[in-house]
Amino acid sequence: MKSKKIISFFLAGVILGGLAFGFRLQSGNENKETIESQIDAPAETIRGEKMMKITVGDTVLEVAVESNSSTAALLARLEQGPVTISMRDYGNIEKVGNLGFNLPQNNEMMNTRAGDVILYQGNSFVIYYDTNAWSLTPIGKVSNVAPEKLKDILKGDRIIATLSL
């Protein structure tokens, strides 16, 4: 009798697990299509990559953006106009500033490199000029400036950065 109950529970778990797995796959595909259509609409493209700009002083950083809901929401916000943020140095590896609004998070463990642009805790915008390892949401990568030059562009304790399309 115990073995029949165990088998019944096992089969029920397999069936329910399969249903849940199938639902996640379907939901993931629907979200992917929605996200891709949102990103395709607002961002200008350079060499076929979806792009946004970060202006620091006289320098315009071109950022090839990731395809996720965080970036889609940010690009939708930038369609309304540029966003200017005050950024401060953190740990001699990055500049970080509060966006003033929240974005969805798509955190993943990552090893950052100079030029990575990420979202931290849904409302902090970060530009890396050195390496780090943490659970972060990737936004994109600076594509028009060599990583070794980025530290000079972002020099100083505080900078003003303007995000735009």
The answer, yes or no, to whether residue 113 has pLDDT greater than 80, is: yes
* Dist. CA 70–CA 97, nearest whole Å: 16
| Cross-strand bridge partners of residue 117 | 127, 140
Assigned CATH topology for domain 44-164: Cyclophilin (2.40.100)
* Dist. CA 23–CA 69, nearest whole Å: 19
pTM of the model: 0.72
Q: Under the phi-then-psi rule, with left for phi > 0, alpha for psi from -120 to 50, and beta for the rest, what region is 57? A: left
pLDDT for the residue 13: 43
The residue with greater pLDDT, 49 or 10, is 49
Q: What does the pLDDT look like over 41-72, one tens digit per residue?
A: 344 444 456 899 999 999 999 999 999 999 99
pLDDT for the residue 50: 83
Please state the rounded mean pLDDT for residues 118-127. Answer: 98
pLDDT for the residue 48: 52
Most distant CA pair in the chain, distance: 78
Closest CA to 69 of 39, 108, 91, 90: 39
18 contacts 10 by C-beta, under 8 angstroms = no
Please state the rounded mean pLDDT for residues 140-164. Answer: 96
pLDDT for the residue 78: 97
How do the domains of the chain map onto residue ranges? 44-164
